Amino acid sequence: MKQFFKMMFASTLGVFVAAGIFMLLFFFILVSMMGSIGSSPAYIPKANTVYKIKLDGSLTDNTTNDPLALLFFNIETPPSLKELLEAIRIAKENEHIAGIYLEAGSMTTGSANWEALRRALIDFKESGKFIVAYGDYYSQGNYYLCSVADKIFLNPQGMLEIAGMASQTIFYKGILEKAGVHMEVFRVGTYKGYVEAYIQDKLSDANREQIQSYMGTIWKNVTQGIAESRKISVNDVTHFAESGLALSAPEKAVECGLINELKYKDEVEKYIQEIAGQTDRKLRTASTDKIVHIKTSKKVKTDQIAVVYAEGEIMQESAESIYINENIISEKLITELNKQKRDEKVKAIVLRVNSPGGSAFLSEQIWHEIIEIKKEKPVVISMGSTAASGGYYISSAADKIVAEANTITGSIGIFGMFPNTTGLFQKLGITTEVVKTNKYADIGDMSRPLRDDEKQLIQAHVERGYDLFLRRCAEGRGMSKEAINEVAQGRVWTGEQAKELGLVDELGGIDKAISIAAELANISDYSINHISGSSDLFQDFFEKQLEEIKTTVVKSALGNEFEYWKTIKLIQASSGIQARLPYDMQPL
């Protein structure tokens, strides 16, 4: 028997040792392969190569490739806005790139990102090179971008969707009542409409007014942009939308001057081959991933401008946060900003904000860090598609704010919500009893309604938070608190409107923000360092894999109900007073 246990122990130890060696080898292989991913070889294009941009996927400001997907499944994440802008610039300057081929797909993003890409393509055309667009189907956002092309082709059986903008709000009051749940709401701001979905069954007049206002401004900019690029009138564009011609025969789009010709994809690619001067049997193209790896003559410069990305909900990391969005703005942003503050090579920081807001507490902590950085070096905000509520809170601390004309911003206001589940408990036959040492020890207990004195305390807390928000914005913008309050009240503005109101300094993209940062830092010869925000590569990598597995399981189990589940998780994760956009923005 003793011999048996000795053999069993030896065998078990051997298994563990072998497993350990295998895991160690796998780790070193993974490190090596991940390193090779991050240092792709330089790409040298052949003469007359065409840069092909496939407009697919969800466009974010800044993404990093998923190493696991790349290593084992050869799946690449769609290029980010940063990568596309860089690739378009490189393609403009490289003598071997003959032009750009835009293939419309299902790409979705905010209207401000479409604007940034349009501006880059218009700049590209100054080189004299061509831009050709083709689509089986053009979504409104895809067409807005493609309208800058020299020639726009549509499949003879395709569709051009120009129908105008619409916003839908889902109200949960009815289902909450059926479940026996009543939401206790505390807010400051006439236009802070986020809470309306839980306490009303339709939009308030104030909320409807602000939605109509910002959508009208964005639609005006879109139609003007299309009209200018296509050399037609704004009335021609609105006529197409107003008449429902998106559902008519494709020939109508040609008649209205929105499409040049109806052609099949192979015919378009043959046409591109001809104008590019290619003689190959097949159109020779290069993707964004290849273009960004074209070797350019860049000198190593001592002075740097750090571009730090703040994208997603502002919230402290929790178990619930992984179900909401793969991008969240957490305490890690403060750590990263502090790191850039201490780096002597970094002479200025551009913070790229793309956020609907979130935790008022965390917004204040980020605001404080930016104030501390400003004592040593300038900070400039570059607003993406959305920089509202908490997103504006953190932006207000900067030296300068740059926004796109169609950026959604403002929404200066806060709120808090407490569910009262008394009705639900009664329906389920659940009773509770509380033993406490002090009067307010059980404040926020969901099993009973809030008392009037508790409501007064919470409302006063929310009002103090709003007053602090006003003071922060007033200090940052050099305005009086009263003047900020006039344009606050939770009201949502476009970047164009915000500039007129003094909430934004300049209109433009991230390039303009970088240029302003260089001026403030008094530097002219510098390099740009884009910061992804990941402080620990391997920790972030393995955490992301775990989060993706959890999210995939939940999505598979819930199907179409996943978005509703995500909303519930957002409420659970949104602890404390919130400074958040009134609703989720839909892409153009």
Q: Which residues are catalytic?
A: 192, 389
How far, in Å, CA of 129 to CA of 98, rounded?
6
Nearest to 303 by CA among 532, 531, 529, 534: 529
Give the containing element (helix H, strand E) for 188: strand 182-188
> Do 143 and 162 form a contact (C-beta atoms < 8 A)?
yes
How far, in Å, CA of 390 to CA of 314, rounded?
7
How far, in Å, CA of 406 to CA of 110, rounded?
9
CA distances to 133, 140, 246, 257 from 158, in Å? 14, 14, 10, 16
Q: CB-based contacts of 236: which residues, under 8 Å, 6+ apart? A: 227, 256, 257, 258
392 φ, ψ to 5°? Answer: -80, -35
Provide long-range contacts, Cβ within 8 A and 24+ apart, for 454-462: 455/184, 455/186, 458/186, 458/416, 458/418, 459/186, 461/186, 461/416, 461/577, 462/186, 462/187, 462/188, 462/414, 462/415, 462/416, 462/577
Tally of CB atoms within 10 A around 530:
17
Q: CB-based contacts of 220: which residues, under 8 Å, 6+ apart? A: none
Token output for 39: 């240092």
417 φ, ψ to 5°? Answer: -135, 140
Terminal alpha carbon distance of the chain: 75
How many whole angstroms from its chain centre is CA 530?
16
